[in-house]
Each structure stands twice: as C-alpha cells, then as structure tokens.
Amino acid sequence: MRPDLPGPMLARLHEILRAFPECVDEPAWTGVRWRVRGATVAHAFGGEDGLFRIVFRTEPGEVPAFENMGEPYFRTNWGENTVGIMLDDATDWTELAEMLTDSYCVQAPAALADSVNRPGN
C-alpha cells in the first residue's frame, strides 16, 4: 500500500491547481490528480519507497532539460511531454507553481489557457 500525501503538501497543491479555471481534483489510481475538461494537468502520489512525487506536462522540447537537471526532477514514460519532481521539505513551491501553470496551459483548451497569467509573460 502506498502512503497518502501529507496534508500540508496536498493543501499547497490544491491551492495552486484549484486556482486555474475548471481545474478539478479527483482520486486517481493512486494519489490525486487534477484535470481540466478530462485532460490531466498533474498527478501527485506517494511511492512504496515513502517518497512523494508530482507528475505534470511540459512543452515537449523542455523534457530534455528536465532530464539533464537530475534530482529532484525525473522523466516518466506516461507520454512524450510528461516529467515529474520529487516533493519534500526542499521543494521550491514558487518554481513548482510555475511548472504547474505551464502544465495547465499545455493541457487546457486555448480559451482557458489564455485566461491564465503565465510566469515570464
């Protein structure tokens, strides 16, 4: 059995992701996922190793950059534009919020994505 996400960590993720238009959370096969109109924006879960992760979408051209950065980032095999980050006490929540904003904009319909203030724009 995999551990649940710690309450404070889950609360921070909810705060970031629920701010996006039509972004809703739901139980996933393990952990919690956030979706916009059926497209998964992020999926957070605890592993059997006791560590916590969040997987999200990025522009396909950015995947190699995440791979090269190494820990706490990792590549998944859940799609060509899917990467993840380990969540712990050292997590940079500002940076994670920026990555989740990008993930939302990659997955959301253009009209919804255009309504979101993206970092750097």
Name all domains of the chain by residue range, CATH numbers in brackets.
Answer: 7-113 (3.90.1150.30)
Cα dihedral 103, 71, 7, 92 sign: negative
31-72 pLDDT per residue, tens:
999 999 999 999 999 988 888 999 999 988 888 888 888 899
CA distance 118 to 52: 26
Tokens of residue 20, six digits: 């996006």
Whole-angstrom distance, CA of residue 54 vs CA of residue 69? 16
Q: Is 15 exposed, middle or buried (0-12, 13-18, 19+ CB in 10 A)?
A: exposed
pLDDT tens figures, 67-110: 888 899 998 888 889 999 999 999 999 999 999 999 999 999 99
Q: Which of 32, 3, 14 is closest to 100 using CA atoms?
A: 14
What is the reported pTM? 0.91
